Structure 1
Amino acid sequence: MILCVLVFVLSSTTLSQQHLSHPINFCSMASTCIHDGRGVCASSPDGCSRRSFLDQCDMYEYNCDYGTQFMTKVSNPCTDGQPDFLC
């Protein structure tokens, strides 16, 4: 009986995945985010602008402060090169 309860509890936590709902509230995310110092490369929704941030929390704060919607593309600083799309 205890084994069945344990299996149920462990399986139910994987079924309750959290996801982002739209529109994303970057100010709320920035206020609860914990800085980890891992640089990220983010781009604007149209892919025409890229920007490096100190970490994902820094990106959320920037989006909150400036009303932008940068999203993470790769988890390292941006390199020089062409934007994602022809702008």
Structure 2
Amino acid sequence: MAHITFTQQLARFLPVPELQTAAATLRAALDEAFADNPRLGAYVLDDQGHLRENVVIFIDGRRSRDRVLLDDPLLPESRIYILQALSGG
């Protein structure tokens, strides 16, 4: 099963469990993750279901391709990291 990890920046605001999923796409994995935790979903996705500008997702070491469709394919052994992008100095 694919493994989803939320970075600790999000943990300042709410619980961020590590999850396992059998989903075939990133969108399906996110839908599954947020079904039990819609508040977490609101930090990652905007009101149209698109990836927020301050969030980046990496799948198997590569940045996700599309911030709108989130249709990147997942493999059973995929590692998904969801990060809140930081700025400032």
Instruction: Compute the TM-score of the two structures, normalised by the length of structure 2.
Output: 0.28
* Bigger Cα Rg: 1
Query: Relative contact order (alpha carbons < 8 A, sep ≥ 6): 1 or 2 greater?
Result: 2
- Higher-strand-fraction structure: 2
Indicate the structure with greater helix content.
1
Question: TM-score, length-normalised on structure 1?
Answer: 0.28
